[in-house]
Structure 1
Amino acid sequence: MSADRRYEWGQGALAAGDAEGARDLFAQALDCAPDWPAGWFALAQALERLEKLGEAREAYSKTLALDPEDAQGAALALARLGGAKPATAPRAYVKTLFDQYAARFDTHLVEKLGYRGPQVLCEAMERAAPGRRFAHVLDLGCGAGLFAAAIVSRAQKITGVDLSPAMIEQARAKGLYERLAAADLTDFLAAEPAESADLAAAADVFVYVGDLGAVFAGVFRTLRPGGLFAFTTQSGPSQGFAVGDDLRFSHSESYLRELSAIHGFAVAEFCAVSTRKDRGVDVPGWAAVLRKSE
């Protein structure tokens, strides 16, 4: 209880801008519980705010050593500070994040962050393929089912997949899906029948995937000829992909276009968009609609 109390006080201090006070409180919490990954991660955040980057790297590395599955996302934080760049966000981090977020997901995302990813994707698809309807939609990283609600009038059946079981239960409650799976995205695509879907959509999902090669390959195999692959990403580096301060991946336009060509997709629509806000400011991104060759 002593460690928990100091941790909570430290989080309050950090939120209030008192990074020095937060550092001291997190250090006191770790005196009580020296092998607590969340405590080390919080200490690293405070040290980073104080611009003690070497000490912050050490604390993030300690977090990762104590929890190799990385529920805190320490590998992403280290990449942001110049460490090795992971191909994807750790599964344990994404699952933990969204299992905790599930009950308030719809309200917080739409009302607090101004999220409009499904609307952005549907508008992009309408420009690429006006009036098109879909026999089978794959909702990749379906979350609580916001994209399914936006596309249901144009879909005969919808299959959803998400890494978080709690999010899958939120989606199930909407009654929009024929089938739902709690699984890793690439594992799910590998198990789907070839040429079985007309549309694969990923709204605000690739912020947790840096290297998109395996996903593009899996989607191409799963789509029927002429099928569409619609997705949003955050925009960031001039080349490749990067981890931002928000521990999310951003992708360059050149990377996405090159990957599309490599995997046999034609670009039907590609535009600059924003799907959400961060502290009241639009987060820049891309919306893309790709078409599998006939």
Structure 2
Amino acid sequence: MVSASLSSGDVLADRRAAYAKMLSEEGQFAEAAELMEQALELAPDWRAGWFQLGEYREKAGQTDGAIGAYARVAEDGGEDIFGARLKLALLGAAEVPASPESTYAESLFDDYADRFEKALTEKLGYDLPALLANRVATHGGGAPHFAVAVDIGCGTGLAGPEIRPFADRLEGFDISLNMLAKAREKGVYDYLDRADLSLKTDESGLFAPGLPHHRADLVLAADVMMYLGDLEAVFALTAALAKPAGLFAFSVEAAEEGYILQPSLRYAHSKTHVEALFARHGFDERFCERVTLRMDGGKPVFGFVFIAERRA
């Protein structure tokens, strides 16, 4: 849902949008859409409002109207911070993009940073960082040692305290500056910086001066791949980060084949798809386990935890 901070700039339009939100929270989506239409008559260039209208229409079963609203957002030439193109793909009005625009993930997590950990750990039963660290420790004989561990897509740093006991140096990277600020508060990372995992190696931000290629004994990506879609870029980055015999530990949401875009606007990946990426990017699979990643709407979200080793 669109952040309430994205005002139309028109007081009356914002007021009608607020009433529409109240109606939507009561499940009156058609009525909410009608009020949102009135708000947009007052503020016709309000992109956040058009996206919100799309969501109300979609929930009201007005698919064609939802497509029209999302298309208005997607076609105006601005950055797609709302994920309108993802919505259009799910409604069958566009091809599934190989990955979302970086500005979408950045905006999503900048807005989510303050409530991220509470939502995951208290409401969704999320303990993936601890699970990944446990599997890495087991694979490493119980007490592994990494001169350099790199947490890509580190978010607020939930994995940091879990990996810190094994690492002499712990680096964290994320696309969201607000997430990085939360990670910095934990005081467990030796280095934190912004990086875009969808970009080419030397453009990504992972290899700033003093951060050489092939420096990592462990690359960790907890709950990251589902926001990237096509994983070719991130596997290429990891191959450039990892030392020979370095480990790559990560999770994906489970798909039957290939990779798919889900109604959650996250991507799921199949085991065979990941294994093909291992082969292309010089990794050997060492461990795979099907797990429950978290709960969503009271239902388990299944995925895979992988550990792979970079070939010498």
Contact 1:121-1:230 within 8 A present in 2 as well:
yes
Partners in 1 of 2:180 and 2:38 — Cα distance?
38
> Which amino acid in the other structure matches residue 179 of structure 2?
M
Letter in 2 for 1:129: G
Q: Is the 8 A contact 1:127 1:269 kept in 2?
A: no
SS in structure 1 at match of 2:114: helix
Quote the offset at 1:175 in angstroms.
0.9
After the TM superposition, which of the residue ranges 150-159 and 75-84 deviates more from structure 2? 75-84
Could you report, residue by residue, the CA deviation over 1:45-98 in whole angstroms, capped at 9, with x for unpaired residues?
A: 122123222222121110112363111111111121222222222222211121
Q: In the TM superposition, what is the alpha-carbon distance from 1:114 to its structure 2 partner?
A: 1.4
What's the counterpart of residue 8 of structure 2? none
Distance 1:126 1:160 in 2: 19
Cross-structure match for 1:59:
69
Q: Which residue of the other structure, out of 19, 24, 41, is the alignment partner of 1:14?
A: 24
SS of aligned partner of 1:274: strand
Pair 1:211 & 2:222 matched: no
Percent identity of equivalent pairs: 39
Which of 287, 291, 295 is residue 273 of structure 1 equivalent to? 291
| TM alignment of 1:1-294, pairs within 5 A | 1-66=11-76, 68-82=78-92, 83-130=94-141, 131-185=143-197, 186=199, 187-189=204-206, 191=208, 192-236=211-255, 238-294=256-312
Is the helix fraction higher in 1 or 2?
1
Secondary structure of the structure 2 residue equivalent to 1:194? coil
| CA–CA separation in structure 2 for the residues paired with 1:258 and 1:102 | 33
- 3-state DSSP of counterpart to 1:87: coil
Could you tell me how far 1:263 is from its partner in structure 2?
1.1
CA contact (8 A) 1:37 1:67 kept: no
Distance 2:152 2:75 in 1: 31
What is the CA-CA distance between 1:8 and the residue it aligns to? 2.1
Instruction: Normalising by structure 2, report the TM-score.
Output: 0.90
Query: Aligned partners of 1:103, 1:50: CA distance in 2, in Å?
Result: 30
| SS, match of residue 173 in structure 1 | helix
Distance 1:18 1:74 in 2: 22
Give secondary structure in 2 for the equivalent of 1:230. strand
Matched letter for residue 16 of structure 2: R
Q: 1:124: how far off?
A: 2.4
Unmatched tracts of structure 2, length 5 or more: 1-10
Q: Which has the higher contact order (CA 8 A, sep 6+)?
A: 1
Alpha-carbon distance between aligned partners in 1 of 2:271 and 2:148, rounded to the nearest angstrom: 28
Aligned residues: 293
Deviation sequence 1:208-267 (CA, Å, 0-9, x none): 10000111111112111110111111113x221111111111111111111111111111
1:39 to 1:67, Cα distance in 2 relative to 1, 3 A: farther
Give the whole-Å Cα distance in 1 for the aligned partners of 2:160 and 2:149: 9
SS at match of 1:68: coil
2:3 is matched with which residue?
A: none
Q: Is contact 2:173-2:206 (8 Å) kept?
A: no
- Gapped regions of structure 1 (runs ≥ 5): none
Task: Check whether the contact 2:249–2:305 (CA below 8 A) recurs between aligned residues.
Answer: yes
Paired residues of 1:120 and 1:275 also in contact (CA < 8 A): no
> 1:207–1:234: 8 Å Cα contact kept in structure 2?
yes
Stretch of structure 1 that moved more, 178-187 or 150-159: 178-187
Task: Give the Cα–Cα distance (whole angstroms) in 2 for the partners of residues 125 and 93 of structure 1.
Answer: 31
| In structure 1, C-alpha distance between the alignment counterparts of 2:28 and 2:133, rounded to whole Å | 43
Query: Does the C-alpha gap of structure 1 residues 67 and 6 become closer, same or farther in structure 2, counting only changes over 3 Å?
Result: farther
Query: Which amino acid letter does the alignment assign opposite residue 216 of structure 1?
Result: F
Of 123-132 and 171-180, deviating more is 123-132
Q: Which moved more, 1:238-247 or 1:3-12?
A: 3-12
**1:220 counterpart SS class:** helix
The TM-score, its normalising length taken from structure 1, stands at 0.95
Note the C-alpha offset of 1:190.
Answer: 5.5
Once the two structures are overlaid, the 10-residue window that deviates more, 139-148 or 189-198, is 189-198
**4+ residue segments displaced more than 4 Å:** none
